[in-house]
Chain A
């Protein structure tokens, strides 16, 4: 039972364009959502997060949108850069279980020069 799903295993984008990574979840009790970035042979690193009481959070080139009614969130990267090429994981947590993260399967982003 996959509570957090990333249905696109890979995405290829041209440098300078927008990258949109999508994530769906099933548990309406999730109260915090995060995006992690992972390079090969490294551990995941935190990228951006959003609380369930918000619908948008922005940090530089990265914006996360949350649509609670659709149980859907997305990560927008504008403009995309070759250094953004990595695997991106969506994750969610329940109230007061912030470190116990439920991850999606990941989307591999390739940004081509």
Chain B
């Protein structure tokens, strides 16, 4: 497709279960971002990849969160031992340009998000 694709769109996980969220960025996009959006809040930055390199993971809330982009295209966000506070929409975004060259918002395209509910 032409846009950023995320799967699954909806996931219900039991507390303690591991989940994996997938992001297919726009083809050729160098930069990939993950954001977490809790109910009633704005998106919060989690991590950033430039190609396969994870250059910033300062927003990951705990060591239960892990992200990878091994071949510089598809990315997976993994959450281990899910907790109720992990319930949120997880947004993936991609950009043709690198963050250091001024990847401003008008070059960033968001996916529709993966809605995670932990019960």
Contacts and interface: CB of A to CB of B under 8 A. Distances in A.
Interface of A: 4, 6, 9, 32, 34, 36, 41-46, 49, 89, 91, 93, 96-106
Contacts of A93: 104-105
A32 B105 contact: yes
A34 B105 contact: yes
Interface residues of B, number: 29
B108 interface: yes
Interface stretch (B14-22, B35-43, B70-78): B35-43
B113 interface: yes
Contact of B42 (A32, A96, A106): A106
A99 B42 contact: no
A43 to B, nearest CB: 3
A42 B37 CA distance: 12
A106 B39 CA distance: 11
Contact of B99 (A32, A41, A46, A98): A98
B39 to A, nearest CB: 11
Contacts of A36: 105
Contacts of A98: 99, 102-105, 107
Interface in B1-16: 4
B104 A105 contact: no
Given A89-B43, A104-B42, A99 B33 contact: yes
B42 A103 contact: yes
A105 B40 contact: yes
13 contacts: A4-B42, A42-B112, A43-B111, A43-B113, A44-B91, A46-B108, A96-B102, A99-B48, A100-B56, A100-B99, A101-B45, A101-B105, A101-B108
